Amino acid sequence: MTTVRSGNASSDPRCVSALTGLLCLVGLLTGPTAQADEGGPDEYGYIWIDSNNVGGPTYAPDFTPQSSPANPLELGDDTAVTVSIGFPFQFYGETYTEMLVHSNGGITFGNDPSPLAASFWFRGSPNVSQGVSRNCNELTWPAPTIAGYWSDLNPAPSSGLDGDGGVYSSLFGVSGSRRHVVAWYQIPHFNSQGKNQFEIKLFEEDSHIEFHYVTLAGGTSFGGGRSSAIGTGGSDHELLRSCGDDTIINHTALSISQLPCDDLDLDGACAWEDCDNEDAAVYPSADEICNDVDDNCDGQIDESGAIGERTWYRDLDGDGHGAAGPSVTVQACHQPDGYAENNDDCDDGDNDTFPGAPEQCDGQDNDCDPSTIEDADSDGDDSTPCDPVPDCDDSDATLNPHDRDEDGISSCAGDCNDSVAAIRPGAAEICDGYDNDCDNRVDENPNCQDATPPGYDIPYGCILACDLAEPKSAASDRAALVLVIGLLVTFGSTRRRRRGPR
Residue ranges per structural domain of the chain: 1-30, 38-258, 309-373, 375-444, 449-489
Which of 188-197, 212-221, 302-311, 365-374 is predicted most confidently? 302-311
Average pLDDT for 113-126: 72
Report the share of the chain in percent with pLDDT over 90. 49
Element (H, E) at 129: strand 128-129
- Alpha-carbon span 295 to 140, nearest angstrom: 29
Apex 93 CA angle, 90 and 96, nearest 5? 40
Maximum Cα–Cα distance across the chain: 169
Note the pLDDT of residue 158: 82
Q: Give how far the C-alpha of residue 476 lies from the chain's centroid of Cα atoms, to the nearest Å.
A: 77
Q: Which residues, 6+ apart, have CB-to-CB distance to 347 below 8 Å?
A: 317, 353, 354, 364, 365, 368
Look at the pTM and tell me if it is higher than 0.85. Answer: no
- Alpha-carbon span 449 to 451, nearest angstrom: 5
pLDDT(13) > 80: no
Note the pLDDT of residue 424: 92
- Alpha-carbon span 442 to 431, nearest angstrom: 8
Q: What is the mean pLDDT of the chain?
A: 81
Q: Which of 391, 364, 366, 368 is nearest to 380 (CA)?
A: 391
Report the share of the chain in percent with pLDDT over 70. 78
Confidence of residue 447 (pLDDT cuts 50, 70, 90): low
Among 46-60, 183-197, 268-282, 381-395, which stretch is predicted with the lowest mean pLDDT? 381-395
Dihedral over alpha carbons 325, 329, 334, 336 (to 10 degrees): -100
pLDDT(121) > 60: yes
- Residue 160 or residue 317, greater confidence: 317
Note the pLDDT of residue 314: 94
- Residue length, the chain? 502
pLDDT(292) > 80: yes
Note the pLDDT of residue 176: 96
Average pLDDT for 393-401: 87
- Residue 218 or residue 301, greater confidence: 301
Contact 31, 224 (CB under 8 A): no
- 354-372 confidence digits (pLDDT tens): 998 888 888 888 889 888 8
Average pLDDT for 448-463: 50
pLDDT(281) > 90: yes
Among 196-200, 235-239, 484-488, which stretch is predicted with the lowest mean pLDDT? 484-488
- 155-186 confidence digits (pLDDT tens): 998 877 878 899 999 999 999 999 999 999 99
First to last CA, the chain: 134
Confidence of residue 17 (pLDDT cuts 50, 70, 90): very low
Average pLDDT for 225-244: 91
Among 150-164, 214-228, 324-338, 476-490, which stretch is predicted with the lowest mean pLDDT? 476-490
Q: Give how far the C-alpha of residue 119 lies from the chain's centroid of Cα atoms, to the nearest Å.
A: 38
- Per-residue DSSP letters for 370-438? TT--TT--TTSSS--TTSSS--S-TT-TT--S--TT-SS--TTTT-S-TT-TT-STTPPP-SSSS-TTS
Q: What DSSP character marks residue 105?
A: T
Contact 367, 347 (CB under 8 A): no
Confidence of residue 34 (pLDDT cuts 50, 70, 90): very low
